[in-house]
Amino acid sequence: MLITGASGAGKFTVSKLLTRFYDPGEGFVRLDGVPLYAMPLGFLRANVTLLPQETLILHDTIRENIACGRPGAAGHEIVRAARDAAAHDFITALPKGYDTRIDPHTARLSGGQLQRIAIARAMLRDAPVLVLDEPTTGLDALAARRVVRPLRRLMSGRTTLMITHDLHLAPDADRILVLDHGRVVESGTHRELLALNGTYARLHGSGHGSGHGSLTETGPRPTVRLGPL
């Protein structure tokens, strides 16, 4: 599912509601028919992975940055996650490889490289529900293209909710929700929403999107339902 809207429409709020950083003042969010507020917070967080717009990186080694997705993971599992995230090659090219520390005084990695480390962390975490918050924001066209394939691998077999203004990512979505002032105003596929000639069509026609490629979610997906926001 792709969630979009103009700036200030409420996209950022949705990502926080889905992970219970705060609860809605009215309405509800359900996961497999169960309201989020009825779930133990630890259970919810264990089953939902959030890739936020701003990549979260620890001032620690690359190995520990990936391993924090699942503490106690074996070394070969960390390497496999990095390979799946298309990060292994640039990591091993660093002088200390996986033991390279990420901080302003040592490894100076690009935004795309940091994003792929975050994707490797999510791969290792292996939660069934994935929330992507503007996954290509801040990346140039080349860097964004490099993260598209690992993002596809990450989304495979998971319920994925992508929150983005980049409508070049929309045609492959199973369903698109369009937000306006905190409310869902349109819902459908890319073609259906273009045919409505409404809010989505205006956003699409205004040049939203950066042309980074398309992302396709595949595989079995548990049900995620959004109540009124």
pLDDT score, position 163: 92
pTM: 0.80
* Interstrand relation of 29-31 and 34-35 (parallel, antiparallel or unpaired): antiparallel
pLDDT score, position 104: 63
Q: pLDDT tens across 162-194, in order? A: 998 888 778 878 999 999 988 899 999 999 999
pLDDT score, position 207: 59
Q: Can you give the residue ranges of every domain in the chain? A: 2-226
Q: pLDDT tens across 24-56, in order? A: 888 888 888 899 999 999 999 889 999 988 888
The CATH T-level fold of domain 2-226 is: Rossmann fold (3.40.50)
| Weakly modelled stretches of the chain, pLDDT under 70 | 104-107, 207-229
pLDDT score, position 224: 36
Angle between helices 141-155 and 75-84 (to 10 degrees): 120
CA 141 distance to own-chain centroid: 18
Instruction: Compute the C-alpha angle 34/131/16, nearest 5°.
Output: 70
- 206: tokens are 């205004």
Centre a 10 Å sphere on the Cβ of residue 97 and count the other Cβ atoms it contains: 13
Instruction: Tell me the residue ranges of DSSP E strands in the chain.
Output: 2-5, 29-31, 34-35, 48-51, 129-133, 159-163, 176-180, 183-188, 224-226
Angle between helices 111-125 and 75-84 (to 10 degrees): 130
